[in-house]
């Protein structure tokens, strides 16, 4: 008898160039040593330069994919990525409530690196009302956190206030990613359910090859939770991994190139964990 393999699920969109969305999630799951299932809610014609077309998958097909996974696999943790529109957000919320998929990591993907909209404006309320309260952890980048909270971010104090505002909307734990800020260091901020917080500080890699970083860190957290790690540990390990995937970059495409999902995590990649900055 072999022990049951840890299984996780991503519910997201595809990226034809293989760098973001479902592709990034599945590569991350494999690199982290868990088995990944995938429910596709949208297909994008996309490359490292931009998004050329988006085709949403019909709601009943999204529901059926989730039910197919749920009736057979033992999902220990799952994440959502690009959800596209309000109907899909509602469909996913209704379907996951009927399942026991374990911890839910909500990556509230809104705009692609190249500027394309990946979540309709009218779907933002549905994300806030239907998905935020279900999530174990929500992982907005700075622009997404501003949209969710209705506040702007320019200082580290703003980051903390915005995370508190998002927590008041019903999110239990928040990882506010700092990749979009400026400076030689990148600061990610974590606010936990029990009110404690910490910062993850790492040196910024001077590169445009950052396509799919958000997908990758949320997928790595999902994998680590499925492997039994506590949330704080899972976030720190995932941050070390995404840092390695950027630092040991590969050369693909002409724009925001994809990450090296086979990068090995070295002690150098560990972020500094700070109570305050
Ligand atoms: N140039 C960089 N050097 C080092 N770390 C980075 C860099 N850019 C992003 N990161 C890290 O990658 C993770 C994702 O951050 P980011 O704020 O870019 O999310 P995102 O915008 O959702 O990503 P994406 O939209 O590319 O999927 C964070 O942990 C962040 O600190
Ligand atoms: C299908 C899909 N999902 C997510 C992203 C976000 O990734 P990025 O912000 O790096 O473009 C994307 N571009 N495409």
All structural domains of the chain, each given as residue ranges with its CATH number in brackets, are 7-274 (3.40.1190.20)
**What confidence tier does 112 reach under pLDDT thresholds 50, 70, 90?**
confident
Element (H, E) at 63: helix 59-72
pLDDT in tens, 155-201: 999 999 999 999 999 999 999 999 999 999 999 999 999 999 999 99
- Ligand closest to 216 (CA) is 1
* Dist. CA 129 → ligand 2 center (Å): 23
* Dist. CA 37 → ligand 1 center (Å): 24
> Cα separation of 198 and 168, whole Å?
18
> Cα separation of 46 and 15, whole Å?
6
* Dist. CA 48 → ligand 2 center (Å): 10
* Dist. CA 210 → ligand 1 center (Å): 7
> Is the model's pLDDT at 110 over the cut of 70?
yes
Task: Decide: helix, strand or coil at residue 55.
Answer: strand
Measured from the CA of 203, which atom of ligand 1 is nearest?
Answer: 4
- Ligand closest to 56 (CA) is 2
Are 216 and 259 within 8 A, CB to CB? yes
* Dist. CA 87 → ligand 2 center (Å): 20
**Residue 257, ligand 2, Cβ within 6 A:** no
> Is the model's pLDDT at 1 over the cut of 70?
no
Task: Decide: helix, strand or coil at residue 220.
Answer: helix
* Dist. CA 2 → ligand 1 center (Å): 37
pLDDT in tens, 17-59: 999 999 999 999 999 999 999 999 999 999 999 999 999 999 9
Tokens of 76: 């220990």
- Regarding pTM above 0.90, the answer is yes
* Bridge partner residues of 80 (DSSP): 11, 106
> Is the model's pLDDT at 269 over the cut of 80?
no
Buried-state track 187-221, b at ≥16 Cβ within 10 A, e below 16 = bbbbbbeeeeebbbbbeeeeeebbbbbbbbbbbbb
Q: Is the predicted ipTM greater than 0.85, yes or no?
A: yes
Return the residue matching tokens 């393999």. Answer: 5
Residue with CA at minimum distance from ligand 1 atom 10: 179
- Ligand closest to 118 (CA) is 2
Exposure on the CB side of residue 50, measured as CA atoms within 13 A: 6
Measured from the CA of 22, which atom of ligand 2 is nearest?
Answer: 1
**Residue 258, ligand 2, Cβ within 6 A:** no
Task: Specify the length of the chain in residues.
Answer: 277
Residue with CA at minimum distance from ligand 1 atom 12: 213
Contacts (Cβ under 8 Å, ≥6 apart) of 244: 260, 263, 264, 265, 266, 269
- Ligand closest to 139 (CA) is 1
Output the pLDDT for position 264.
Answer: 84
Please state, rounded to an integer, the average pLDDT across all residues of the chain. 96
Output the pLDDT for position 31.
Answer: 97
> Cα separation of 110 and 124, whole Å?
9
> Is the model's pLDDT at 210 over the cut of 90?
yes
Output the pLDDT for position 115.
Answer: 85
pLDDT average, residue stretch 236-245: 97
pLDDT in tens, 114-143: 888 999 999 999 999 999 999 999 999 999
Instruction: Say which DSSP state 98 is in.
Output: T
């Amino acid at each position: 008898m072999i022990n049951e393999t840890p299984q996780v699920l991503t519910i997201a969109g595809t990226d034809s160039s293989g760098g973001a969305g479902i592709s990034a999630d599945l590569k991350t799951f494999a690199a982290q040593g868990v088995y990944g299932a995938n429910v596709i809610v949208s297909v994008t014609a996309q490359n490292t330069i931009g998004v050329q077309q988006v085709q949403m998958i019909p709601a009943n097909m999204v529901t059926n994919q989730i039910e197919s996974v749920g009736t057979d696999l033992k999902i220990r943790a799952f994440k959502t990525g690009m959800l596209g529109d309000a109907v899909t957000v509602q469909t996913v919320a209704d379907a996951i409530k009927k399942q026991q998929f374990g911890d839910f990591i909500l990556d509230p993907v809104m705009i692609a690196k190249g500027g394309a909209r990946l979540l309709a404006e009218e779907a933002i309320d549905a994300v806030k009302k239907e998905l935020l309260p279900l999530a174990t952890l929500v992982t907005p980048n700075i622009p997404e956190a501003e949209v969710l909270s209705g506040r702007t971010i320019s200082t580290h104090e703003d980051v903390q206030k915005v995370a508190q505002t998002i927590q008041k909307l019903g999110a239990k734990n928040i990882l506010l990613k700092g990749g979009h800020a400026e400076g030689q260091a990148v600061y990610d901020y974590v606010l936990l359910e029990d009110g404690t917080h910490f910062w993850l500080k790492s040196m910024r890699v001077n590169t445009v090859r950052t396509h799919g970083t958000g997908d990758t860190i949320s997928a790595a957290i999902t994998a680590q939770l499925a492997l039994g790690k506590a949330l704080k540990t899972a976030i720190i390990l995932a941050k070390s991994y995404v840092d390695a995937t950027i630092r040991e970059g590969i050369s693909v495409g002409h724009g925001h190139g994809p990450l090296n999902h086979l990068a090995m995590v070295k002690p150098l990649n560990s972020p500094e964990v700070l109570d305050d900055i």
